[in-house]
Structure 1
Amino acid sequence: MPVLGSFSLTYQWVRELRRWHPGVLAGVQLRIADDEPVTVGRYGVEPRRVTAAEAVAVVRGLDDPRGWEVFVPRALTAGEVRRVRQVPQGVGWRYKPDAHGRRPCPCPSCLGRGEWGAARLRRRFPIGSPRPTKPQLMTLLRDAATADEIIDALMMLGARRRGDAQELAYLVEHPDPEVRETLAETLESYRGRAARVLRAQLEQDPVAADHHDRAELR
């Protein structure tokens, strides 16, 4: 990714890559010549062959550059490395952009056999099962025993009439950062003073607020 004014967009791939790479990932910033041949495009789409300068211009000109990537078709040298930095391991999207708030689709086209967590998702969301009602979701949320169960219920709330945000207030200080991040995204669909208060509280949490754009200091 080109280094953008948004910290979260610059390092958007961290959380996705963490699904496949154990350990802590670091951010490595490189500098190559403007006329270096590269390819640029969104994942899953045939990339365009352009120069490095043109690739940066393409990505910077997008309204939503999430999922875009630039490939340099050669080995990079140590002399082209300009900076190595630590980055929060929860930056970006896990499955695909805007996955939060949407019920996972377990069909073979969307969830390939052997993918991480595929069997668990198919057990939780069998194909053809009816969506739970709002009262059922709130019961699931109150009875949830694990962080994954809480996250699943919050994601499904995005497709229902949500009502009073105050009923989610107890999750603001949940010890699992992914629960707080999912809560922050769920609350974006809520209206009213209670929702604004909870969103303000979560904005003080660097993990929960990570899905918002943050300017990188450099």
Structure 2
Amino acid sequence: MAMFVHLTSAANAPRIRRSGIRAAGDAQGGPRGVYCFPVLPSYTLTHQWLRELARSGSRGGLVAVHLRLDDGQRVSLGRYSDRVREIPAAIPAAEAVRRIAALEDPRGWEVFVPRAIRRGEVHRLRAAPQVVGWRYLPDAHGVRPCTCFGCRVRGGYGARRLLERLPHPLDGPPPPVRVLLARVAASGDPGDPVVLREVLHWFGTRRRGPLAQLARLAAHPDPGVREELVWAVARWSTPGVTELLDGLAGDPHPDVREAVEAIREP
């Protein structure tokens, strides 16, 4: 029997003791299953994913769930950057353990079991120290962090100070709202498309914005400005966004209509 460890929130421990580990999917529509890692002689390598998973938040910390799988259980194996969930289950669990144990540096590797873990396969649950493993990616310590919109963790510990210390040329921090609105006013009527697209880009990095002052851009003659307006307000919680997007959904230009459809896809 091959032994693996699955890290999960302590709040899930009672349910796992009752019925095992349920298969979970992801936002990209990949197969449902359970991520785990072989139990190796090195305690640190075995629990290497702990600090990275803890960044997403967990009630009561994380616990280590040891599970035994039949040696012939088909699993996927890959590094985190290989999108392991898309690799077909092609190797036995025992072979996955052998391959990872033979690696010179197994950090960042993971095993995906394409099904739920039954109660009888759960060997034990135990508390795990919350300071083991790497964060962000292996060898990230000492590397200048990226503050682009895709990499930064919004609301994370020290995120605001990091963004102020290492501003990204495209993703901020954005200029103050009053400065952006002044640029809109100075661009004239209907407004310079280049200036307006840049301003809307910065507004798109915010969670709320001055919708009343920007709503007139929905009638701008440049379709690029109208499309950028869609992306700018897409994540806003400001009242009136839905009505604005409803109007842009019937825009005569296909790029604008497709942008509205894209942000409304479930």
Q: Return the TM-score normalized by structure 1.
A: 0.53
Among candidates 131, 135, 154, match of residue 94 of structure 1 = 135
Secondary structure at the counterpart of residue 71 of structure 1: strand
Secondary structure at the counterpart of residue 93 of structure 1: coil
Match of 1:116 in 2: 156
Shift of 1:113: 6.8
What is the distance in 2 between the residues matched to 1:120 and 1:2?
37
Shift of 1:114: 3.9
What is the distance in 1 between the residues matched to 2:161 and 2:81?
25
What is the distance in 1 between the residues matched to 2:83 and 2:61?
30
Secondary structure at the counterpart of residue 44 of structure 2: helix
Shift of 1:6: 0.4
What is the distance in 2 between the residues matched to 1:94 and 1:65?
15
Q: For residues 56-205 of structure 1, what are the structure 2 equivalents within 5 Å? A: 56-108=97-149, 111-112=151-152, 114=154, 116=156, 118-127=159-168
Match of 1:15 in 2: 51
What are the Cα deviations for residues 79-109 of structure 1, in whole angstroms up to 9, with x where unaligned? 1111212211011012111111122122345
Shift of 1:44: 2.0
Match of 2:42 in 1: 6
Unaligned runs of 5+ in 1: 129-218
Secondary structure at the counterpart of residue 148 of structure 2: coil
What are the Cα deviations for residues 154-186 of structure 1, in whole angstroms up to 9, with x where unaligned? xxxxxxxxxxxxxxxxxxxxxxxxxxxxxxxxx
Match of 1:52 in 2: 93
What are the Cα deviations for residues 23-50 of structure 1, in whole angstroms up to 9, with x where unaligned? 2111111001111011011102043531
How many pairs align? Answer: 127
What is the distance in 1 between the residues matched to 2:121 and 2:91?
19
- Check 1:86–1:59 CA distance in 2 against 1; reply closer, same or farther (3 A cut): same
Match of 2:67 in 1: 30
Letter in 2 for 1:11: H
What is the distance in 1 between the residues matched to 2:104 and 2:44?
14
What is the distance in 1 between the residues matched to 2:92 and 2:160?
42
Match of 2:237 in 1: none
- Check 1:21–1:127 CA distance in 2 against 1; reply closer, same or farther (3 A cut): closer
Q: Return the TM-score normalized by structure 2.
A: 0.44
What is the distance in 2 between the residues matched to 1:25 and 1:104?
25
What are the Cα deviations for residues 53-101 of structure 1, in whole angstroms up to 9, with x where unaligned? 1111111111111111101111111111112122110110121111111
Letter in 1 for 2:76: T
Aligned CA RMSD, in angstroms, stands at: 1.9
- Check 1:73–1:113 CA distance in 2 against 1; reply closer, same or farther (3 A cut): same
What is the distance in 2 between the residues matched to 1:120 and 1:30?
41
Letter in 2 for 1:62: L
Give the percent of matched residue pairs that are identical in Structure 1 and Structure 2: 52
- Check 1:18–1:46 CA distance in 2 against 1; reply closer, same or farther (3 A cut): closer
Secondary structure at the counterpart of residue 38 of structure 2: coil
Residue 43 (str. 1) matches residue 83 (str. 2): no
What is the distance in 2 between the residues matched to 1:80 and 1:29?
9
Unaligned runs of 5+ in 2: 1-36, 170-266
Letter in 2 for 1:69: E
Secondary structure at the counterpart of residue 145 of structure 2: coil
Contact 2:146 2:152 in 1 (8 A): no
| Structure number, greater radius of gyration | 2
